Amino acid sequence: MERIYLDHASASPVDPRVLEYAEQYLKLRFGNPSTLHSKGLEAKKALEDARGKITELINAESESSIIFTSGATESNNLAIKGAAMRNIQKGKKVAASTIEHISVLNPIKELQKSGWEFNLIPVDSTGLVDTEKMNAILTEDTTVVSIMYANNEIGTIQPISEISRVVHEKSLYLHVDATAAGGRIPVDVQNDGIDLLTLSSNDMYGPQGAGALYVKPGVKLQPILPGGGQERGLRSGTENIFTIAGMGEAARIAKNEMVEESRRLEKMRDKLIEEILRIEESYLTGHPTQRLPHHASFRFSRIEGESILLNLDMGYNIQVSTGSACTSRTLEPSHVLLAIGLKHEEAHGSMIITLGRSNKIDEIPRIAKGVKETVERLRKLSPL
Amino acid sequence: MERIYLDHASASPVDPRVLEYAEQYLKLRFGNPSTLHSKGLEAKKALEDARGKITELINAESESSIIFTSGATESNNLAIKGAAMRNIQKGKKVAASTIEHISVLNPIKELQKSGWEFNLIPVDSTGLVDTEKMNAILTEDTTVVSIMYANNEIGTIQPISEISRVVHEKSLYLHVDATAAGGRIPVDVQNDGIDLLTLSSNDMYGPQGAGALYVKPGVKLQPILPGGGQERGLRSGTENIFTIAGMGEAARIAKNEMVEESRRLEKMRDKLIEEILRIEESYLTGHPTQRLPHHASFRFSRIEGESILLNLDMGYNIQVSTGSACTSRTLEPSHVLLAIGLKHEEAHGSMIITLGRSNKIDEIPRIAKGVKETVERLRKLSPL
């Protein structure tokens, strides 16, 4: 049975065109961009080309606004701790929505241990940030506010421009985690009014192990990895040219193909939602329309998401997710699903589908059949 | 004119056998090791296989002693800041040799800003740590001492076992940066008495963008990148499986071939040193015998290392280094060369050769000729 891979939010295969472009930086052009000889200059050029491609993807002011990191977790850490520590004179207060990724929430919890105040901004039942409540929560001494562009578990896209307006009336900086959104929907840091933006390479079909942080000109950060002073002193360590070059190329391809590919995936997603909601006691989680084009998330009453995942994998060779891979180590229900108002037992029955370039519309009947049979079988076995 | 690449300390090409092994993790086996389905399990297996290979390379107690990071800079930051912050009850004092890499020195300078005391341990004119002076400097409240296994600029190998004995009489932890030594000379963390050890993937012909930190069982660290809790909670972020699998395979190959390859490179290095020291007013830097097998470093009076580098590159297609690539951003003379007692003007005339697998003994006449002609030409042009 051919594999149907529906878990692109956890990991995506590298696009073959990205590999074809970037593999020269593993073999022939392997230099260190900080060295002065010809091998270093080749690497330096690859690094700056990649920076240019990321700049274009998000309409940054200039190439120098892009800092390469080892991934989204590091970008989130650098944005939040870096901005908070460097601008401590503004106040020891940070804020974030209740549905942020754990790599945003945990750095803030680290700050809390050093006496920072952490204000949580609630979302409604579809996952949208409540901007009125946000306005009431933010104060003149809030240093940085972190709101994700789109949520990885429920797909909801935030009204970032509106959020930016509210944030900037009081707070210093808006950090936006665009790990799930980058390369999937248009992100324009200037139009959206973003100060710091996290991007991940693999989430747009680039190699794992690279991320970027957009830093608006004038925004002040303290580095979290001091050393050789690479990346304008904001991120030390020899740049991983293969991965960075691959991320750049992935960004270029994503930008070129975004309109058409989004339309294709949206159509597939809508059909999938329609089919799966035919199953009894199945519900869409997240926003019905303001959601990522490739993202369909559900909950089913009286069964466990992990059982769905394992059954679909073993019985149908279909790979889905039941929550953030990054929190799979715990058996706790998803903090995102609790934040949108689900009860513990409701949150446990979650299934997330994230479509990608390899998926085709004719896979839908097999997916729908697999999910339906799996849910029905598990319900029969369930003691609930 | 065929390229002769002699700058393996700045960047090394990935070994073709490493690529052949690891590229499956870019294409087919691209999973996220934290996911529970079959794609995740494949990735998890690759991750644990790599951990096993690193464990064997350095004779660690167990696989769980190995933490993967994004590279040596991050490993050094995690070791030093992580150990210092987590064990603050021992005392707010850290120590390091004067010739440590900047990715060790700069994290310590960051600690200094938060009130930590930084004790510098001197070295002699060959770069060896003075263990008697070290003994006098360390106190009961020294939390972590950082001494590199071998120096990247002058090749000197430290007597780590002896250093370990002195450190452990008073201080809590010994961190050893083995970026330059790992995969090149035998490193045995248990025999050597090491608590924390930094390794770099690319320095042993693995892909750029991965490193490891050995953490002796029982050693307590505070993570510097909180998030999803990967790597036993010590390093969050989705693991970069291609790079990590490549690093593991690179470690396996290095271990297998170390004895033979070291002997080959040593012979070449000695011949090279003999030839280059025929040049008037040329001097070996670092230790004459206790040095890395692939490392030959020199200084030439009355000329600039950067000019040597550029002339050899453009005129002879030979790539050498004049100092750590990581400090090439500044025009300051190398802190390592100043620490072994050279004057500013002496330190400026530095040339570093780091040999690798692609180098052959019959390249020596062309290298020797190139260096001799370059030095003589530059001296004619020199106003000094």
Query: Pick from A27, A34, A110: which is nearest to B13 by CB?
Result: A27
Stretch 232-251 of chain B: residues touching chain A, C-beta under 8 Å: 236-243
Interchain contact, A229 vs B329, CB within 8 Å: yes
Beta strands in chain A (DSSP E): 4-5, 66-69, 93-97, 117-121, 142-146, 173-177, 196-200, 211-215, 282-284, 295-300, 318-319, 350-354
Question: Which residues of chain A make contact with B26, given a CB cutoff of 8 A?
Answer: 13-14, 19, 207
Interchain contact, B71 vs A237, CB within 8 Å: yes
B292 vs B344, residue with greater confidence: B292
pLDDT tens figures, B68-124: 999 999 999 999 999 999 999 999 999 999 999 999 999 999 999 999 999 999 999
Residue B211 bridge partners (DSSP): B69, B200
Distance, in angstroms, between B66 CA and closest chain A CA? 18
Residues 6+ away with beta carbon under 8 Å from B69: B75, B78, B210, B211, B212, B213, B235
pLDDT tens figures, A144-174: 999 999 999 999 999 999 999 999 999 989 9
Single out the catalytic residue among B326, B338, B341, B368: B326
The DSSP element (H or E) to which B245 belongs, if any, is helix B241-276
Q: At what angle do helices A72-86 and A102-113 cross, to 10 degrees?
A: 30
Interchain contact, A74 vs B72, CB within 8 Å: no
Contact in structure between B305 and B348 (CB atoms under 8 Å): yes
Single out the catalytic residue among A326, A338, A372, A373: A326
> Is the CB of B41 inside 8 Å of chain A's CB atoms?
no
Q: What are phi and psi of A95, to 5 degrees?
A: -140, 155
Residues 6+ away with beta carbon under 8 Å from B174: B144, B145, B146, B147, B163, B164, B167, B168, B193, B194, B195, B196
Q: How many CB pairs under 8 A join A and B?
A: 257
> Is the CB of B315 inside 8 Å of chain A's CB atoms?
no
Residue A1: pLDDT over 70: yes
Chain B interface, best mutation among A38, A42, A104, A208, by max B CB count within 10 A: A208
Q: What are phi and psi of A5, to 5 degrees?
A: -95, 120
B186 vs A344, residue with greater confidence: B186
Token pair in block for residue A240? 């991983």
In chain B, what are the helix, strand and coil shares in percent, each to the nearest 5? 45, 15, 40
Q: How far apart are CA A199 and CA B186, in angstroms?
A: 39
How far the first Cα of chain B sits from its last, in Å, is 32
pLDDT of residue A325: 64
Question: Which residues of chain A make contact with B328, given a CB cutoff of 8 A?
Answer: 34-36
Under DSSP, the state recorded for B115 is T
The burial class, CB within 10 Å (0-12 / 13-18 / 19+), for A67 is buried
| Side-chain-facing half-sphere of A188: CA atoms under 13 Å | 6
Token pair in block for residue B297? 């470093």
Q: How far apart are CA B339 and CA B125, in angstroms?
A: 8
Contact in structure between B381 and B308 (CB atoms under 8 Å): no
Ramachandran assignment for A291, one of left (phi > 0), alpha (psi -120 to 50 degrees), beta (any other): beta
> Is the CB of A26 inside 8 Å of chain B's CB atoms?
yes
Q: At what angle do helices A38-58 and A241-276 cross, to 10 degrees?
A: 30
Residue B157 bridge partners (DSSP): B150
Q: What are phi and psi of A299, to 5 degrees?
A: -135, 150
ipTM confidence score: 0.93
Tokens 């069964």 — which residue? A303
What DSSP letter does each residue of B215-227 carry, written as one string? Answer: E-TT-----SS-S
Query: Pick from A14, A34, A239: which is nearest to B30 by CB?
Result: A14
Query: Pick from B11, B31, B77: which is nearest to A32 by CB?
Result: B11
Q: How far apart are CA A242 and CA B18, in angstroms?
A: 14
Q: How far apart are CA B87 and CA B80, in angstroms?
A: 11
Query: Pick from A34, A101, A321: which is nearest to B329 by CB?
Result: A34
pLDDT tens figures, B125-146: 999 999 999 999 999 999 999 9
* Architecture of the domain whose range is A16-253: 3-Layer(aba) Sandwich (3.40)
> Is the CB of B110 inside 8 Å of chain A's CB atoms?
yes
pLDDT of residue A28: 81
Residue at A89: amino acid letter: Q
pLDDT tens figures, B323-376: 876 666 666 889 999 999 999 989 999 999 999 999 999 999 999 999 999 999
> Is the CB of A326 inside 8 Å of chain B's CB atoms?
yes
Q: How far apart are CA B304 and CA B315, in angstroms?
A: 16
CATH T-level fold of A4-12+258-381: Aspartate Aminotransferase, domain 1 (3.90.1150)
Contact in structure between A107 and B227 (CB atoms under 8 Å): yes
Residue at A135: amino acid letter: N
Contact in structure between A41 and A31 (CB atoms under 8 Å): yes
| Averaged pLDDT, A187-191 | 98
Mean pLDDT of chain B: 95
pLDDT tens figures, A74-129: 999 999 999 999 999 999 999 999 999 999 999 999 999 999 999 999 999 999 99
Q: How far apart are CA A257 and CA A278, in angstroms?
A: 32
CA B342 remoteness from chain centre: 22
Q: How far apart are CA B187 and CA B198, in angstroms?
A: 11
Residue of A nearest to B110 (CA): A226
Residues 6+ away with beta carbon under 8 Å from B90: B141, B142, B143, B172
Distance, in angstroms, between B29 CA and closest chain A CA? 8
The burial class, CB within 10 Å (0-12 / 13-18 / 19+), for B38 is middle
pLDDT tens figures, B60-71: 999 999 999 999
Token pair in block for residue B90? 């021992």
Interchain contact, B327 vs A27, CB within 8 Å: no
Question: Which residues of chain A make contact with B115, given a CB cutoff of 8 A?
Answer: none
Contact in structure between B253 and B15 (CB atoms under 8 Å): yes
Helices (H), B87-180: 102-113, 131-137, 160-170
Question: Which residues of chain A make contact with B317, given a CB cutoff of 8 A?
Answer: 38
Closest by CA to B171, choosing from B106, B91, B60, is B91
Residues 6+ away with beta carbon under 8 Å from B56: B251, B252, B255
Q: How far apart are CA B208 and CA B58, in angstroms?
A: 20
pLDDT tens figures, A287-309: 999 999 999 999 999 999 999 99
Residue of A nearest to B228 (CA): A326
Residue A295 bridge partners (DSSP): A354
Q: Is B236 considered catalytic here?
A: no
| pLDDT classification of A383: cutoffs 50, 70, 90 | confident
* Greatest Cα pair distance in chain A: 69
Given CA atoms A349, B31, B243, B190 in this order, what sign does their dihedral have? positive
Collapsed DSSP state (helix, strand, coil) of residue B94:
strand
Question: Which residues of chain A make contact with B320, given a CB cutoff of 8 A?
Answer: 37
Domain boundaries, chain B: 4-12+258-381, 16-253
Chain B interface, best mutation among A1, A10, A67, A205, by max B CB count within 10 A: A10
Q: How far apart are CA B158 and CA A283, in angstroms?
A: 64
> Is the CB of B208 inside 8 Å of chain A's CB atoms?
yes
Neighbours of A376 (CB within 10 A): 12
Residue at A67: amino acid letter: I
pLDDT of residue A328: 64
Residue of B nearest to A108 (CA): B226
Q: What are phi and psi of A214, to 5 degrees?
A: -80, 130
Query: Pick from A11, A102, A237: which is nearest to B228 by CB?
Result: A102
Under DSSP, the state recorded for A71 is S
